[in-house]
Structure 1
């Protein structure tokens, strides 16, 4: 499964942490989340891709006290299995949990990776 992943850290604002191997993931991200910007949990298929948003499973909060959201655009064969927030969280979170634990308190966001 390929992932575009956007989130924020304790002190840094929303950033892409994974780009799914795409040089500019913003247009794909914008298309996937268009019209559902304010929905706190969502799983929506957009063509061959799945837009997935859920709050941080460990309820981590940023410096302003807001629960950290995680937003993914999943694509590739494994993305076909994602048809609900619950299933998406179960399949996607283990792929990024350790990386987020490593970076969320960094004073600056890490570089985007494929």
Structure 2
């Protein structure tokens, strides 16, 4: 699975939890999300990849009360089946949900 995943935890700020195998996932992330930085939900194809953002499916918030967002850069072949936020929640979220459950409430962010 080739995937970039960035999010926040309850106590820690925005971090990459999956780097997609890139030494600097921020470059690919910026390309995918350019122009939609403030949007609460995103599903858009950029070339062969999909930029996907949605609020935490369990409704979790950080310590400041903000809804936690999950940002993904989805690469082929998985990207082919992701055409909406609903598709992403159904197909992408289950791949990381258990890991997030383990780390979201940690005092410090885990590494990618």
TM-score band, normalised by shorter chain: over 0.9
Aligned mates of 2:67, 2:46 — CA distance in 1: 26
The alignment covers a number of residue pairs equal to 112
* Structure 1, unpaired ranges of 5+: none
Per-residue CA deviation, residues 17-65 of structure 1 (Å, 9 max, x unaligned), is 0001111110100010000001101100001110000000000000000
Match of 2:104 in 1: 104
Relative to the length of structure 1, the TM-score reads 0.96
Aligned mates of 1:106, 1:15 — CA distance in 2: 13
Aligned mates of 1:49, 1:33 — CA distance in 2: 11
Please say if 1:86 is aligned against 2:89. Answer: no
Please say if 1:37 is aligned against 2:37. Answer: yes
What value does the CA root-mean-square deviation take over the aligned residues?
0.6
Aligned mates of 1:28, 1:86 — CA distance in 2: 23
Relative to the length of structure 2, the TM-score reads 0.98
